[in-house]
Amino acid sequence: MSETLANLSSESRQFPPPEALAAAANVKAEAYEEAAGDRLAFWAKQADRLTWAKKWDQVLDWSNPPFAKWFVGGELNIAYNCVDRHVEAGRGDKVAIHWEGEPGDTRTITYAELLKLVSQAANTLTDLGVGAGDRVAIYLPMIPEAAVAMLACARIGATHSVVFGGFSVEALATRIADADAKLVITADGGYRRGKPSALKPTVDEAVAKSPSIENVLVVRRTGQEVAWTDKDKWWHETVEQASPEHKAQPFDAEHPLFILYTSGTTGKPKGILHTTGGYLTQVSYTHDAVFDLKADTDVYWCTADIGWVTGHSYIVYGPLSNGATQVMYEGTPDTPGRDRFWQLVDKYKVSILYTAPTLIRTMMKWGDDIPAGYDLSSLRILGSVGEPINPEAWMWYRKNIGRDRCPIVDTWWQTETGGVMISPLPGVTATKPGSAMTPLPGITADVVDDQAQSVPNGGGGFLVLRDPWPSMLRTIWGDDKRFLDTYWSRFGAGAGQGDEWIYFAGDGAKKDEDGALWLLGRVDDVMLVSGHNISTTEVESALVSHPSVAEAAVVGATDPTTGQAIVAFVIPRGNVDIEGDVGDQLNAELRNHVSKTLGPIAKPRQIMLVAELPKTRSGKIMRRLLKDVAERRSLGDVTTLQDSAVMDLISAGMKTSKSED
């Protein structure tokens, strides 16, 4: 990206918070001023939400940037904060987790029961020789044991590394080796799309390549047959037999809590390291503020997988530290039917729903009539995370799920940031469809040009964070240099510009006329068309605003005349025929629609109608693979794809499609 990013779309709709919600909101407008007045005092106050065994001496040590230390000298136990203290406060009978298996089996786990399970697991880990500072790999389906395993590690000071149950042998083995993990916690399998899907064979192969692994702890979930080695121990024969008494020891605020690998676009995955006190402070505060959690009455549901940072921060640590009651669901949204989510919202009377744009667009594609069959009146706040949410999808979510009553919080953050950074506050912000709006209190985000100068309202550029925040990553596991190079050497002191350390998030963004922030996707994805930097997000949103389009992914393909030309991959809504004349007609119509919405510069050279798009497990579109297809190259690494067959289909379609004009 050269100087700026074109600002092509504009949005005038605005939705103020419902009055009653605003009046009773956990966080009000004053929080912004308070934090701006004294940022460190503000975060110190939020840290007081937690129970500390020893109070910190210093809020932030930033004497060796970009290596931050928060709540220096403080000590606490994360599991104690997420579990024990709620039981001690007399809330042991409160439901922590309403778990729903994909086949329809259920478990209800109270805070007292969670304490028992976490204590037993902590005792078992200790028996297996795992101690403070050791690393444990967790490779589990969405079952309560996933949360229990994470909390048990945290309780004894072991650092967990959760790997998506569904990643390959290679992906698991590389992550085990990088973290030098001692133990793997896994299951025989989990249920996906109506059948048991095995996990253990992948672990067996990965462990065979992993000399550091001493033991494998196996949860029996599906009952399917498993091969057995002398490293394997059943969870029900160890954890469930262990003593339920365990006293949590406090750990230093900077004790490593977890490593989570994020693939980025190229190269070996980065092990993002998070620590204890600052992380828990920010995820606890943001979960309370952004979702306006009323622990006594709300039922919260985050549909993310535990293997994604969203599952870490907003299924495990944020909600549990706040004593929330939540729903946890094992399976896919279309099993047994496409109404599964709405049926669960209705069944558990979910009041706060946190999901991803990819799911919202899928629900749009499946049709309005499916949610229309359900009451959904328990809902009061809706959240979105993972990708920019197109204004069209935002409006659909508001109308069809929120029934025009519920504020939507579009939350921007990253594995690296640990917690939400940019989001509306549901009782304060008048939201605009598609915008993440403003940095949360205590957070300093900005959009800058090449020279790290703030762009004026109406301008576009790079999203940066100007001040350290409590849940920031501390480094890339074992690779401080890569940490510096990846995040801190593009702008500011690390780039030799002045002495301010500036974190570069890798995303493009713009400020609208009111200063609200609009995320424009990864800067690696920005297209350069006839000298204009155009974001994939804006063109995709223009496509999705056409009534025949459910989803779109856009890439810039090398073009002899324009440098790059826009190639769009489009999933039509249910009623559109993919083949033949209807397709050709739609093709022309869509190109004109984009041209009318954003201007002729953004008109796609070519539109491909496809049935699916390549996505990561957390639902992000892998544009780099589509670029390979658009430029007719052989495909790059597909190992993190949710469904690798998708790419074969798309490539086959591309070869037969007419190049247009």
In the complex, the residues that contact ligand 6R9 under the rule CB under 6 A are: 262, 308-310, 385-388, 410-415, 436, 505-507, 519, 522, 618
Cα–Cα distance for residue pair 557/630, rounded to 1 Å: 6
Least Å distance, CB 310 to ligand 6R9, is 5
Least Å distance, CB 238 to ligand 6R9, is 33
Q: Which amino acid is at 106?
A: T
Q: Which is nearer to ligand 6R9, 212 or 262 (CB)?
A: 262
Least Å distance, CB 580 to ligand 6R9, is 36
Answer whether 136's CB lies under 8 Å from 125's CB. yes
- For 74, list phi and psi in degrees, rounded to 5: -75, 155
Least Å distance, CB 290 to ligand 6R9, is 11
Q: Which is nearer to ligand 6R9, 85 or 270 (CB)?
A: 270
Answer whether 318's CB lies under 8 Å from 275's CB. no
Question: Mind giving me the DSSP string for 365-382?
Answer: HH-THHHHTS--TT--EE
Half-sphere exposure of 41 (CA within 13 A, CB side): 8
Cα–Cα distance for residue pair 32/444, rounded to 1 Å: 11
Least Å distance, CB 525 to ligand 6R9, is 9
Least Å distance, CB 133 to ligand 6R9, is 25
Least Å distance, CB 509 to ligand 6R9, is 9
Least Å distance, CB 129 to ligand 6R9, is 32
Q: Which is nearer to ligand 6R9, 388 or 441 (CB)?
A: 388
**Of 594, 618, 24, whose CA–CA distance to 292 is shortest?**
24
Least Å distance, CB 516 to ligand 6R9, is 13
Please name the residue that has the structure tokens 């350290």.
Answer: 468
Which two structure tokens, joined as six digits, stand for 157?
């000071």
Q: Which is nearer to ligand 6R9, 84 or 410 (CB)?
A: 410
Q: Which is nearer to ligand 6R9, 87 or 306 (CB)?
A: 306
Those residues with Cβ within 8 angstroms of residue 657's Cβ, 6 or more apart along the chain or in another chain? 606, 608
Instruction: Give the ranges where 49-188 is alpha helix by DSSP (H).
Output: 78-79, 85-86, 111-127, 144-156, 169-179
Least Å distance, CB 505 to ligand 6R9, is 6
Q: Which is nearer to ligand 6R9, 314 or 501 (CB)?
A: 314
Cα–Cα distance for residue pair 13/10, rounded to 1 Å: 10
Those residues with Cβ within 8 angstroms of residue 282's Cβ, 6 or more apart along the chain or in another chain? 43, 46, 418, 419, 469, 470, 471
Q: Which is nearer to ligand 6R9, 124 or 326 (CB)?
A: 326
Separation in Å, CA 398 to CA 401, 405, 425: 6, 8, 16
Q: Which is nearer to ligand 6R9, 246 or 522 (CB)?
A: 522
Least Å distance, CB 521 to ligand 6R9, is 6
Q: Which is nearer to ligand 6R9, 360 or 565 (CB)?
A: 360
Least Å distance, CB 482 to ligand 6R9, is 16
Residue 604, judged by CB atoms within 10 A of its CB (0-12, 13-18, 19+), counts as buried
Query: Three-state DSSP class for 199?
Result: coil
Q: Which is nearer to ligand 6R9, 183 or 309 (CB)?
A: 309
Q: Which is nearer to ligand 6R9, 191 or 518 (CB)?
A: 518
Q: Which is nearer to ligand 6R9, 418 or 572 (CB)?
A: 418
Least Å distance, CB 262 to ligand 6R9, is 5
Answer whether 415's CB lies under 8 Å from 260's CB. yes
Least Å distance, CB 314 to ligand 6R9, is 9
Q: Which is nearer to ligand 6R9, 501 or 518 (CB)?
A: 518
Please name the residue that has the structure tokens 């007045």.
Answer: 37
**Of 192, 206, 191, 212, whose CA–CA distance to 134 is shortest?**
212
Least Å distance, CB 386 to ligand 6R9, is 4
Cα–Cα distance for residue pair 219/142, rounded to 1 Å: 12
Q: Which is nearer to ligand 6R9, 383 or 459 (CB)?
A: 383
Can you state the percent helix, strand and coil of the chain, rounding each to 5?
35, 25, 45
- For 90, list phi and psi in degrees, rounded to 5: 90, 15
Q: Which is nearer to ligand 6R9, 215 or 415 (CB)?
A: 415
Cα–Cα distance for residue pair 554/608, rounded to 1 Å: 10
Cα–Cα distance for residue pair 572/486, rounded to 1 Å: 37
Cα–Cα distance for residue pair 569/555, rounded to 1 Å: 8
- Which helix or strand (DSSP H or E) is residue 619 part of? none
Q: In residues, how long is the chain?
A: 661
Question: Mind giving me the DSSP string for 552-586?
Answer: EEEEEEEETTTEEEEEEEEEEPTT---SHHHHHHH
3-state SS string over 201-259?
Answer: HHHHHHHHCCCCCCEEEEECCCCCCCCCCCCEEEHHHHHHHCCCCCCCCCEECCCEEEE
Least Å distance, CB 14 to ligand 6R9, is 18
Q: Which is nearer to ligand 6R9, 156 or 260 (CB)?
A: 260
3-state SS string over 410-473?
Answer: ECECCCCCCCCCECCCCCCCCECCCCCECECCCCCEEEECCCCCECCCCCEEEEEECCCCCCCC
